[in-house]
Each structure stands twice: as structure tokens, then as C-alpha cells.
Structure 1
Amino acid sequence: MSQTNNPVMTNPKKLSIPKYIIMSILTIFSIGPQYFLNLSYTVGQSVIQNGLHLSAQEMLIPSSLSSLAFALGLPLGRVFSKKFGLRNFYLSLVFVFLCGTIIDAFSYNLSTLIIGRMIQGLSAGMLFLTILSAKFLSFPNHLRQFFLFSVVVGLFGASAIGAIFGTISLSTDAWRWLYIINIFCSLLCLCVGFVTLPKQKVEQKEKTVINKNGLFLLGLLTAAFAFPILNLQEKGFDSVYVWPFLVIAIILMALLFKNDSRNEFPIVPIRALAQPKAVFGTMMAAAGHISLIVIFVGVNGYMRTIKNVSFIDFTYFYCCFFIGIVISAILCALFFDRWGAGILGIVGSMLTVIVSIKWSSIQPEASLIGLNLQMACLGFGLSMTFISGAIGTLFAGNAHQASSRSASLHTIRNYVGAVFAPFLGWFLYRVNANQYEKQIGLLNQIDAAADINAKKAAILSAYHGLFTILLILGIIMLIASIGKMATGKGHALVKKEKTTV
């Protein structure tokens, strides 16, 4: 978390609302919409696709570039927030996010949709660490455990709520209203932030030295990743638009880490993670982040193409996921200091492994009630493992390096997530095509009914493979959680003595 201990209210005596409540509102309604729109876009993709007359491949571009822009924004925000101060930085970026949302709400083609989503991703990414740090510092020491609750429900839960609203957009066959909702969220943040965030004097602003070489390398790295992200699913790894740029990205990544390891002001302070506790926590959070992507890609496809559920059943399905997140948030708030990140991560990852084993051989006749319960278990398990890893990394060492550890963790997981998402699309496409050929080869006579059954069996096999990937990720989270527990609980969230993070 940031070490800048700025006040967050202009005049506490005139405001009866506690400052941590205000900062929670400013955080949830400025960062939450990015997660909300990501999932509502994924779940309700067909509505936008039909409305703008786009192909399935074209629909992947805005979401992929938005995720990549968010990853780029994380280290940029850490650099520039110190220079401009919390108030100016927050209000400016919320306004930029608002502009991106307006562009998307009135999009009429692919280009405007891409521009809007990239603006949203970049501005939300730049704001993420800054406002989350300010929120943490606004919580009194004796209420610090409720910081966990608000983060899990407010940010992790925003993804689940976005999925729920995405199913509603399918039933209403309309999508622009989702962006209009988020326009009002940004306006709320602008009004509340303008009133409550204090103006910062010139002498209070931190003097920062910008690592220009690091910024240049980071920009090149992001551009290099863009080509394989956009072309992998359609063209495959052997395309000249994919593998050469992956090689270039690996080289640029090595150069960036080398530059940052020698620089006093690194863009991505990866050396701050050079402790076992921090490494295990990063593994927990990164694997949890990727698992969330796998779940929404897999279950969204399974429920629509295999189960062919109604919109209301689809909505109940994601509501159960949200309920699991809320229960996880409560337990994290109550037991993080007692059990530590390792034990909570073990509980969460075990649930993920159990459900993944069952889903790796899931059949079309699976009970909806059972699926709802399993989705609630995944919401519980993933959110608990992810937040335990993230908070455990934050406190895994010297408090003065907490901000650097957090910045490195979130930058790594978001870049990995942005690159991994198109890999899942490529994986599904290849497995589906191969399984379809096998199914057709087994048929003595091919007619319309046999062809439909072959296609359904092929895509079901592809989803089995996808959930096997989820199982592998669950095992990685479990191993990392055990390692986290073995290396010690780390620092408690609530200190007996007042400390500054």
C-alpha cells in the first residue's frame, strides 16, 4: 500500500459519515465498474455482437485490449499518483473513465467500442493501487478487518454482479443500459470526491523521479503482447503474428526486470517479492485471478451451449457465485488474523480442487441445484484464496516495502491474466475441432441429428479440458497456500499498536 498518509476529508467535523465509509464508496464505485463491465461484456457478448453486427472474433478485441490497458495502468498509476496527489489524480482519472464509458454507451461500431474499453481499462488500472491504498489507510486500526470484507464484496463481488447483469442483458436483448449505470457511478464518485478529498499543498506533494527507460520498455512490452493476444485464437501459435511477438515480449520482459533491479525507482519493483512468503502469496493471487477467467469462460459456455438454461436459471447461477463471495468476505474479516493467509488459502483452494475434479467430467444432465451449490463453493474458494494471497503478500516483510510488493503482485497477475485469456480461447477452439473430427470419424452415417450430437460431444470435451486446467490451477493454489502457511502467517491485519503501512 502507499505510504502517503493523506487526509481524506476536507473537514471531518462537518461530515458525520466516517472517512473509511467515504473512501470505500470512492473505491468501489470507481474501480468496481471496470470489473462489472468486464463480466457483463463477457456474459452478454451476443447481445452487443448482434447490436453492432460484429463477428465473434471481433468481439474479443475490446475486452482483450481493455485487460491489457488495465495491466499497463497499474505501474503507471503508482508512478504518477505521487507526483499529482490523491485528489487531482483521483478526480482526473474518474473523469477519464467517465468519458470512456460514455463512448461505449453510444458506440456504433467496433472502433468506438475499442476506444472506450481501452480508456476505461487504462484509467481504472492507474487508479487501482492509489485509491485502494488510501482506502486501507482510512480504516481505524480496530476496524482493519472490515477492510477485507469491503474489498472482497466490493471489488471481487463486482465481477459476480456484472455477470448477473450480463444475464439480464441477454433476457432484455439490450446492453447500453449497463454502461449508463456506470456513468452514474462515475458521476457519484466525482461529486463525493470533489467534496471530501482534500486539496494538497505544493510542499505536501512527493517529489518523484520517473524511470524513463523502464516506462519505455514497459510500453514496448505491452505493445508486443497485444499482437499475440489479438491473433492467437484465430491464427494459432505458429502464426507470424503470434510467436515472434511472444519471443520479443520475453526479451523485453527480461530487459525490464534487469533495468528495474538496478534502478532506485523501478517501474515494476519485482525485487520486493524476493522472499518465500511474498512469492507464495503472489502465486495464490495470480492463480486465483486466472482461475476466475477460466470459470467464467467455462461455465458461461457450458450453461448456454450444453445445458441451454433459461435466463432466470442463468441469473440464479451467478447469484450463487456472489453469495459464496459474501460468505468468504465475512470469514476473511473474522479469521484472517487468527488463521493467516496460508490456512485460509488452503480452505479456499481445496474447495476449488474438489469442484474442479467434479467438473472435469461434467455431463449435460448435471443437476442445476448441484451446479448452483458448486458455483457458490467456487465463489467462496477463489475469493478467499485470492484475497489471502494478495493481503498476505502485502504484509510479507518490511512494512516500508508493502507498496512495492503490492504493485508487483497486481502488475504480474494482470499481465498474466491478459495473456492467458486468449490462450483459453485458442485451447477451446483446437480441442473442439479435434474432438469433432474424432466424433465424425466414429459415425457410420452422418445426418443432421448425428452432426448436432457430434458437435455437442466435441464442445463438452473441450469444456472438460478447460475445467482440467482449473484443477491444475487449484492444485497450484493449494501448494502455494501450504508454502505460505509453512513460512509463517506474516503480519496481522489489525495491530495491537498503531502502525503505518
Structure 2
Amino acid sequence: MSAAPETRADSEPALYPRRWAALGVIAISQLMVVLDATIVNIALPSARDDLGITEADQQWVVTAYTLAFGGLLLLGGRIADYWGRKRTFMVGAIGFAVASAIGGLATTGPLLFAARALQGGFGALLAPAALALLTVLFVDAKERAKAFAVYGAIAGGGSAVGLLLGGVLTEYVSWRWCLLVNIPIALLALVLAIRVVPESRAHGDTSYDIPGAVIVTLGLTSLVYGFTEAAKAGQGWSSGTTWGFIGAGIALLIAFVFVETRTKNPLLPLRIVLDRNRGGAYLTSVLVGAGLFGAFLFLALYLQGVLGYTPLKTGFASLPVTVGVLIAATVASNALPRTGPKPLMILGPILAAAGMVMLRFIDIDTSFWAHLFPAQILLGLGLGFTFVPLSSLALVGVPEHDAGAASAALNATQQIGGSLGTALLNTIATSAITAYLLANPSAGPEEAVRAARMAQVDGYSHAFTWSAALILVAAVVAAVFIKVRKEDLPSGEGVAHVG
């Protein structure tokens, strides 16, 4: 077993010699977890036809993963803190591989949905353990900025990589390999972790808040299901079922807050969220996540359903986002120690929203190079400038005992935002498509085909508009709530101790 960093007599933590190798292992696992949220987007039509999944239910292939992931991340962070971050990381990797195998071999839609939820559950162990390990391994301010740049680039670009990989695997192998590909990746991370990742854990009260985990997961699921019902034909926002699930979800989330105030060792200590800067960072993450997941989903649908791109071409057409993220992450990592997080966290959402606004003006024959390419570059630049400072800011001043919970909260906010955003934006897009078709009845087969494409364009345009609005609100939140100066960025104090 690798040894954890020692502590000098003057209480300054020694630098773990294999920390950069450990960062590589963390990067591999983070990429796997992030790209799995979008890798199935392009494969959805093939999986739906193969397993007989209805169009109304196909979204659960995406949301079953993000809901389980986001809902259980807080519990996963606590488990990582108390049980051991390396041990939790390894169990998460093994479970993720097993769940991926079940999904890749699924013979029915419900089995695929269950496998995706199981993936999300084990991802909820893997992700917070990885980020908490990064937090305790990199205690020097400059080194931590570089480490978070890697993490932020993966968090922002992993979704686009998932689209590309999904296109390649779907076109040349099978949609099933969009899940089976995780098996060798997880095993590689597991083998490397045994050699280069040190164990660390928090000390003190190690009880688990199981009621809190159950309540928050049920609340989020009910909320997303309510949004999903609103998108179905015959339901809509006037349906009692829709508002019943939304109301139940809100009530459960309120109950979760109440439970957390009464629990001795809560799942999410309110002291973590109520800090002005961290609260602002988490809210920013929710809003950006809502716009981000919706953008990738509807962009993939537009490229295939309207422009007629193949899965492979759709994957490659999504690469500009990744390019923008990598450029911005590099610049942001160098600028962060000099500017502090606030300017970057305002600039990032503004750039991303500008890209969304460009996507708002798509048509049935929009040019890729003149329109879609620059829009995606702007989107990628915005995400890169946002995620790098966001990852660092969310852990400012967090004591070592709460490192896992704070890390999990950051991951959870992005996934929860993605779940809620996908459901809400899908409802907006579906409503707009239906309204367009009713307002523009077609007379013949050719007109019907064109009307269907125009309706999709109208629906996706509405979704991109609301995505831009959500991300712009994130810029306002950052401007109002973030007060951390560059001198306040973490330099290892409070989170460096490992044992």
C-alpha cells in the first residue's frame, strides 16, 4: 500500500512524491464518470430500436445515471471521508465496471435503465473520492492550480469527448460498447491506484446520514419525473400528475434541509453551503450544469435529426467544444493565481451564453464552419473559464473533515443541474415542436417532412435560448456572491492532513 504524505515538525505537509502520477489516475476515473453522462446520447436511437424503448422513456437512459449520481454523491463523499478515500475509489471503480457490463449486455429497456442507475451509484463513490484525494495530495497553491486545471478541463470537456466516442463506437461497433468501454478504463484506473494513490481519511464522528440520502434522492427523482410528465402528450403543465410530482419533489427537498439541521452528523453540513463563496459556487454549478447538459443533448439531436449527420460525423462535429475547453483551461490555470476566481467565473458564463445565443439561430441548412463551429468554440471557452476556478473555489476554507462532503456537493450540483435542466429543456422543446406543427399543418408528404424538420429547429432553438438564460444567470450569481480574492485561494491549510 502506498504511504500517505508525512507531516513535518513545523506542521507543514510534505509533498507526496507520486502526486502527479496519482493525478493521472484521478484524471482517468473522472473522464470515465463525466463522459458517461453523454456518451449514450448519440447511441440512443440505436439502443431504443434494439430494446424496444419508447421515445417517451428513452430519456431515462440519461437521467437514471445523472439522478443516481447526483442524488448519492453527498453520501459517497461522506463514505470516502470516513471509510478511506483510496478504498472508496477502488470499490467505485470495480462497481462501475460491473454496472457497465450489465448495461452493455442488457436485453430490455428496464434492465438498461437499472444498469445506468447502478453506474450512477458507483460513480457517486468514485467521483468524490477522486476529488478529495486531489485536494489532500496537492497542497502547494501553484501545483494545486495546475491540478485543478486538469480536473476542470476534464469536467468541462468530458461531455464532448463522450459524444465523439459515442459516435465512433455506435457507427463502427455497437451502441453496447458505449457502456462496455468503461470496463478496461475502470480496470486500468484500479490497477494504477493500487500502486500510486495513497490512503487518507478524515477523523472524528464517522456515522452516516442514511435518511438524508434517501430523502434528497427521492426528492430529486420526483422533481425530474414531474418535468418529464409535462413533456408528454396529453399531460403538459396543466396536468395534476405533473404538479403532484413537482410538489412532492419540492416538499421532500425542504424536508431534507430540515433533517440536516436536526442530524448530529448530516449528509450535507449546512455550514458548507451557507458560506457565501461556496454557496455561490454551488449555485453557479447548478445553473451551468443545467445549460450544459441540455446543449449537448439538443445539439446531438439537431445534427442527426435535422442536418442528417451520421453518428460518427455528429461526434466529430462536437469536437470544437473540447478544443475551446482545453484552451480556456490552460489560460485559466495560469491566470487564476493572479486574478482570483471571480473575473474568470463571470467571463466564462458570458462566453458560454454567447455560444448558446448563436445556436439559437439555427436553421434546417445551417453551415457548420460559419455557424456551428464558432458557436461551439465560444461554448467550450466559456466552460473552461468557469470550471477551473469553480473547482478550486468550492473547497476554499473547507476543513479536512468535510473535504469529501464539499467535493461531493460540487459534483452533485453539476449532475443535479444537468438532470433538472435536461428534463425542463426537453419539456420546453417538446412543447414548442408541438405548437409549431399545430400552427403549420402540412398538405403533402414532402411538406410534412419539411414541417417536421422546421418544428425540430423551432423546438431546439427555444431550448438553446433558455440554456443561454440559465448560464447568464450563473454569471450574475458569480458577480454577486463571489468575494474571494486571489490571496484567499487554498494553499493546503485545513485540508492537507491525511492519515
TM-score range, shorter chain: 0.7 to 0.9
SS at match of 2:38: helix
Question: What amino acid does structure 1 have at the position aligned with 2:226?
Answer: P
| Offset, 1:421 | 1.5
2:464 to 462, 467, 475: 467
Compute the TM-score of the two structures, normalised by the length of structure 2.
0.87
Which residue is equivalent to 2:473? 476
The runs of 5 or more residues in structure 2 that have no matched partner are 7-15
Matches of residues 191-230 of structure 1 in structure 2 within 5 Å? 191-197=191-197, 207-222=205-220, 224-225=222-223, 227-228=225-226
What secondary structure sits across from 2:40 in the alignment? helix
**1:194 Cα deviation after fit:** 2.7
Look up the equivalent residue of 1:436 and give its one-letter code. Answer: L
Residue deviations 1:164-222 (CA, integer Å, cap 9, x gap): 01222343262222333210011112212233445789xx8654123354344335435
Supply the distance in 2 between the matched residues of 1:286 and 1:351 (Cα, whole angstroms). 17
Q: CA deviation at 1:155?
A: 3.4
Structure 2 counterpart of 1:448: 445
Which residue of structure 2 aligns with residue 284 of structure 1? Answer: 284
Question: Aligned equivalents of 1:216 and 1:298: distance in 2?
Answer: 31
Letter of the structure 2 residue corresponding to residue 208 of structure 1:
T
What is the deviation of 1:459? 1.7
SS in 2 for 1:57: coil
Q: Displacement, 1:498? A: 6.4
Structure-2 change in CA distance of 1:312 and 1:7 (3 Å)? same
* Alignment match, 1:104: 103
Q: What amino acid maps onto 1:448 in structure 2? A: P
Distance 1:401 1:93 in 2: 20
Question: In the TM superposition, what whole-angstrom CA distance separates every residue of 1:259-318 from its partner, at most 9, and x where no partner exists?
Answer: 212434221223422243233322322211111112112211222222223555433321
**1:318-467 matches, cutoff 5 A:** 318-370=318-370, 371-395=372-396, 404-440=405-441, 446-467=443-464
Q: Match of 1:128?
A: 127
Q: Distance in 2 between the 1:260 and 1:490 partners?
A: 32
Contact 1:227 1:241 in 2 (8 A): no
> In 2 relative to 1, CA 6–285 (structure 1 residues): closer, same or farther, beyond 3 Å?
farther
Change (3 A) 1:8 1:174: farther
Deviation at 1:257, TM superposition (A): 0.6
CA distance change for structure 1 residues 342 and 107 in 2, over 3 Å: closer, same or farther? same
- In 2, Cα distance between the equivalents of 1:448 and 1:199? 65
Matched positions, count: 482
The percentage of counterpart residues that share the same residue type is: 17
**Counterpart position of 1:146:** 146
Local SS of the residue matching 1:56: coil
Supply the distance in 1 between the matched residues of 2:74 and 2:493 (Cα, whole angstroms).
29
Amino acid at match of 2:37: N
**Which residue in the other structure is 1:12 paired with?**
none
The offset of 1:244, in angstroms, is: 1.4
* Corresponding residue for residue 45 of structure 1: 44
Offset from partner CA, 1:51-70 (integer Å, 9 cap, x none) = 32322223222321111110
Give the alignment's TM-score, normalised by structure 1: 0.87
* Residues in 1 aligned to 2:85 and 2:399: alpha-carbon distance in whole angstroms: 24
Q: Distance in 2 between matches of 1:316 and 1:214?
A: 42
Mapping of residues 31-70 of structure 1, within 5 Å = 31-70=30-69
Paired with 1:200 and 1:296, the residues of 2 have a C-alpha distance of: 36
2:256 is matched by which residue type in structure 1? L
Q: What does 1:298-309 align with in structure 2 at a 5 Å threshold?
A: 298-309=298-309
Matches within 5 A, 1:226-265: 227-228=225-226, 231-234=229-232, 235-265=235-265
Contact 1:148 1:329 in 2 (8 A): no
Deviation string, structure 1 residues 423-466 (Cα, Å, up to 9, x no partner): 222221111010111112xx6xx112222222222221112211
CA–CA distance in structure 2, aligned partners of residues 359 and 298 of structure 1: 10
Structure 1 gap segments, 5+ residues each:
10-16
Task: Name the SS for the 1:315 alignment partner.
Answer: helix
Letter in 2 for 1:99: V
CA distance in 1, matches of 2:400, 2:92: 28
Report the counterpart of residue 14 of structure 1 in structure 2.
none
**1:83-135 deviation per Cα after TM superposition (whole angstroms, max 9, x unaligned):** 32223322222211111011112112213212221111011112222221112
**Could you say if the C-alpha distance between residues 312 and 144 of structure 1 is closer, same or farther in structure 2, counting changes exceeding 3 Å?**
same
For the residues of structure 2 that align with 1:195 and 1:399, how far apart are their CA atoms? 24
CA gap of 1:462–1:77, structure 2 versus 1, over 3 A, is: same
1:411 CA drift (Å)? 3.1
Equivalent pair of 2:74/2:405 in contact (CA under 8 Å): no
The one-letter code of the counterpart of 2:351 is L
Residue matched to 1:177: 177
Q: Is the 8 A contact 1:101 1:116 kept in 2?
A: yes
- 1:347–1:381: 8 Å Cα contact kept in structure 2? yes
1:136–1:147 CA contact under 8 A, matched in 2: no
Q: Higher helix share goes to which structure?
A: 1
Per the alignment, residue 75 of structure 1 pairs with 74
Between the aligned partners of 1:257 and 1:391, the Cα distance in structure 2 is 25
Task: Specify the code of the residue in structure 2 equivalent to 1:246.
Answer: I
Work out the CA distance in 2 between the residues paired with 1:219 and 1:375. 33
